[in-house]
Amino acid sequence: MYKVVSTKKGIYESTNSDFDDENPWIVEYVLGEITESFDSALFCFDKIEPAMNFTTLLYGPHAILECEVNNPRKADFICSSIKPEQIDKFWYIHNMPDKKKRGRLIREIGIECPRGTILCDTIKPTKLIYKEGNVRVRHRLLLGRREISEDY
C-alpha cells in the first residue's frame, strides 16, 4: 500500500495540512511507527500509479511512503471540505449503521474517491518511495515500471 503525505514542514503529514495547519484532523506519520486512526479511518492507495496520479492534485511539497496497513477496505467517498466541522460530520455519517440513510447523506458532503483509494485502521510507513523533485523516479513510476530508484 502507498500513503501520499505532505512534507511542507519537513515531516510527513496528511495532505490536508497543505490547506490548514491548525486542522485537528491532521495526522503525522513516522517511518517504522504505527499510526492509528481516531474516530475515522486513514486513507492510502493500493498501487503506486494511483498514488502518483493523486500527487498531481496537491499544492505543497509531498512524498509517497510504502506502508503496511491494518484492515484495508475499499473507499467510496472522501469529505469534500477541509473544514474540521465538515470532516467531523463526514465521519459521523460514514459510521452510521443505516446504510441507506448513510449513502444518501454521504453523497451530500462527500466526493468520489480517486481510483485505488483504500481505507484502513492503521498505517505503518516502511519506506520513502518518492519525494517531490526527483524527476527520474517520477518518470519511472509514471511509465508504470516497478523498479524504484533509491537515490532520492
- Residues of the chain short of pLDDT 70, as ranges, are 16-25, 78-84, 86-87, 90-91, 94-96, 101-104, 106-107, 109-111, 133-152
Length of the chain: 152
Q: What is the pTM of this model?
A: 0.72
Helix (H) or strand (E) holding 90: helix 84-94
The full set of domain ranges for the chain reads: 1-75+115-152, 77-112
Burial class, 42, CB count within 10 angstroms (exposed 0-12 / middle 13-18 / buried 19+): buried
Across the strands, what pairs with 105?
none
Q: Which three cell numbers stand for residue 55?
A: 500527487
